[in-house]
Structure 1
Amino acid sequence: MGLPSHDAINHFHALMQQLDEPLRTTFQNVHQGNVNETLMRFLKARDWDPSKAHKMLLDCLNWRLQNEIDNILSKPIVPADLYRAVRDSQLIGLSGYSREGLPVFAIGVGLSTFDKASVHYYVQSHIQINEYRDRVILPSVSKKHGRPIITCIKVLDMTGLKLSALNQIKLLTIIASIDDLNYPEKTNTYYVVNAPYIFSACWKVVKPLLQERTRRKLQVLPGCGRDELLSIMDYSSLPHFCKKEGSRSSRHLENGSENCYTLDHPFHQQLYNYIKEQARLREAVEPIRQGSFHVDFPEPPDKEVEIAQTIESELHNFENSNGV
């Protein structure tokens, strides 16, 4: 057990007073004025142990410096057709906000193929969405609601989940490791919807491996989860695959404004225009480098490796038992 939260925060504050440049500047990009809330996120991720949380945060800040994460929002994925291909195969988008003001991100786990670009583009895209959420969206909604809002909600659509998910486990483990080590405790709740039998089979063996704080955040909803999600958000904020019972997620819908995955959706238009504008402002200082923005991939924690291996084993068992 760590120190009580008040003592732990004070201890953590004292450790962070020793921070020098350029770590101090990148830390400002992380906390966005919400220092206490940020320290608490890292403390939660390390069971309220200030020393371990301090090391985690220092590792995060050094990772940001070494990989120029502070500048990633000025590094567009170009040309636009390539970015559209990334969006069509890495299904994620902002569908709206909960009644408490938390951004609602929809993620098409089952139908994401990650097969239209190199792994570096998908990692770049993922980190850009994280940074845009933390440095643009969350400060904006915090100002609107008059209080710090530092987390989001994620709705995970399992429609289309197949054995081919085996091909994606390595990339998904990389992305999960980046989030766990550098964006801890940014998701308030994960809602799983449209879960097929193959998910249920994996969930039974994975659930016991998860930390208690992670299990508490993850809720598997029946069907498309519409009724349950309507208790925390308005209909207009529901992801398109939750709009009506029996609906199914797709990469393209006739109404582009409904499908928050597509580049035509207002969220992705605003994000892409923001990144292009930031690039234009930096162009006078340094030319835009073509190609993907390479980020060092962290070694996944042992627990995540174990979870990935368990999922892979369960999918193979499912494959063999069904004669696929």
Structure 2
Amino acid sequence: MFRRKNLHHQENDSSHKDAMVKEVRIAIGPLSDRSLQYCTDACLKRYLEARNWNLEKSKKMLEETLNWRSTYKPEEIRWHEVEKEGETGKVSRANFHDRHGRTVLIMRPGMQNTSSSDGHIRHLVYLLENAILNLPEDQEQMSWLIDFTGWSLSASVPIKTARDSAHILQNHYPERLAVAFLYNPPRIFEAFWKVIKYFLDQKTFQKVKFVYPNNKDSVELMRSYFDVENLPVEFGGKAKLQYDHEEFSRLMMQDDVKAARVWGFENKLCHINNVYSGAEVAPEQVPLAPPAS
């Protein structure tokens, strides 16, 4: 009897959420081109979830994102535009998924190599779009692994850059982050974190997990998300992987072709520095890139 009631409740809840998606779609009005392509049912559900299924707040959030995407055009950022930011491998897509099949981004803030706030954010947005591009069909979220090797307060990104990055993640990529593991941050990071955490909404804040090698519970929590055989040794795993910028660049350029095909602007791909052109790169599915070391 309990199981039947519970199943009935789940069905009612699912029907209610589907109805809410339809309401949001009606509320935002007619869409065209990429905005229409962007606003899938799954997308609308993420915005509703981010605003606790409040129709007006979800609609406002979505409209702000559509305005941002129409001007910032994140889907049009190409690797050659942000390659300099990626030379050290400070953000890269891993060559493995978590236990739920989600794309994994590996971040190494200790490898910060530029002082350009705009460049830093544009590079991050490019990798967010790339991670989404490579999500399995049944997945909407990604996982982050953040390694603090070599990090120092003096070399950290400015507070404004961190704030702007958090704003973009939370407001324009809602419910895209499943979990973020901060691995072995130094004690001095606590001062930085005390400021950064105020930029995070409650939903995002709860997804941030601190992991310390000498804390068994935190290590076990991370391993419940990742197979230890896939994790790089820097995260307490067994895999020995090293970031190869040339190889990663090749894979990102292949993904640029895939992104152009998905968004329908293949004609905008052009030959760049006699290295890359849409005609020279095979359009088939490509393997994931190795993470940074």
Note if 1:273 corresponds to 2:254: yes
Which segment drifts farther, 11-20 or 191-200? 11-20
Alpha-carbon distance change, 14 to 219 in structure 1, aligned in 2, over 3 angstroms: same
Paired position in structure 2 for 1:168? 158
8 Å CA contact retained: 2:110, 2:152 = yes
Paired position in structure 2 for 1:129? 127
Alpha-carbon distance change, 180 to 278 in structure 1, aligned in 2, over 3 angstroms: closer
Paired position in structure 2 for 1:64? 69
Matches within 5 A, 1:188-199: 188-199=178-189
Distance 1:282 1:289 in 2: 16
Paired position in structure 2 for 1:259? 242
Paired position in structure 2 for 1:92? 91
Alpha-carbon distance change, 289 to 42 in structure 1, aligned in 2, over 3 angstroms: farther
Note if 1:154 corresponds to 2:157: no
Q: Matched residue pairs, number?
A: 254
Amino acid at match of 2:29: L
8 Å CA contact retained: 1:226, 1:238 = no
Note if 1:21 corresponds to 2:31: yes
Alpha-carbon distance change, 242 to 29 in structure 1, aligned in 2, over 3 angstroms: same
8 Å CA contact retained: 1:12, 1:51 = no
Normalised by the length of structure 1, the TM-score is 0.65
Paired position in structure 1 for 2:105? 105
Paired position in structure 1 for 2:54? 49
Normalised by the length of structure 2, the TM-score is 0.71
Paired position in structure 2 for 1:320? none
Please, which runs of 5 or more residues in structure 2 have no aligned partner?
1-12, 274-293
Distance 2:198 2:71 in 1: 35
Measured after TM superposition, the shift of residue 8 of structure 1 is 6.0
Q: Secondary structure at the match of 2:145?
A: strand
Measured after TM superposition, the shift of residue 210 of structure 1 is 4.7
Distance 1:62 1:289 in 2: 29
Alpha-carbon distance change, 282 to 241 in structure 1, aligned in 2, over 3 angstroms: same
Alpha-carbon distance change, 269 to 29 in structure 1, aligned in 2, over 3 angstroms: farther
Alpha-carbon distance change, 287 to 93 in structure 1, aligned in 2, over 3 angstroms: closer
Distance 2:226 2:237 in 1: 15
8 Å CA contact retained: 1:8, 1:50 = no
8 Å CA contact retained: 2:85, 2:113 = no
Distance 1:27 1:10 in 2: 19
Which structure exhibits the higher relative contact order, with contacts defined as CA atoms closer than 8 Å and separated by 6 or more residues?
Answer: 1
